Amino acid sequence: MELLTPQGGTIFWTAVTFAILLIILGKLAWRPILEMLDEREKKISESLEQAEIARAEAEKTMAEQNKIIKAAKKEAQEILNTSRNAADSTKEEIIQKAKQEADQLLNKAKREIELSRDKAIEEIRDLAVELSMTATTKLIGKSLDEKEHKALIEQSIKNIGDLN
């Protein structure tokens, strides 16, 4: 049990040894350890600063990318709207052109019908004149001059027109 009770000489030499060890460690170990800790703290601080800079740059890049994406979407929408408008205007042009062509064909058909009708009426008149001249010649027994033919034809046409 003597080992557990401190003695004056042992305490003195233990204190002296501890003081010498503290001086030796202070000169040889504490400075390098403190310098290493300071250096490590500096590196960690620099790393944090670089990480913050990288984060800021990443946010800036992301914002720029979002801006580019928005611009691309807007441009795509504009192109789509332009294409739709062009398609609509082309559609309207085609419809208008088709209507014009249909109207032209209809007008042409009407003119042809009118010409055919006028020609048929003229042929009927000529036939009526010829028939009336033949009938007149047979009834009267003589041939009429041109004025008399015209007057007789006019009268016959009026009579035929009144019958209708």
3-state SS track over 30-95: HHHHHHHHHHHHHHHHHHHHHHHHHHHHHHHHHHHHHHHHHHHHHHHHHHHHHHHHHHHHHHHHHH
pLDDT of residue 1: 47
Q: Using 50, 70 and 90 to split pLDDT, how confident is the model at 78? A: very high
The full set of domain ranges for the chain reads: 41-163
Alpha carbons 99 and 52: distance in angstroms, whole number: 69
Identify the pLDDT of residue 153: 72
Q: How much is the average pLDDT of 41-68?
A: 95
Average per-residue pLDDT for the chain? 85
Who wins on pLDDT, 105 or 25?
105
Radius of gyration of the chain (CA): 62
Q: Which residue has the higher pLDDT, 80 or 132?
A: 80
Which pTM does this prediction carry? 0.42
Closest by CA position to 129, among listed 107, 114, 150, 101: 150
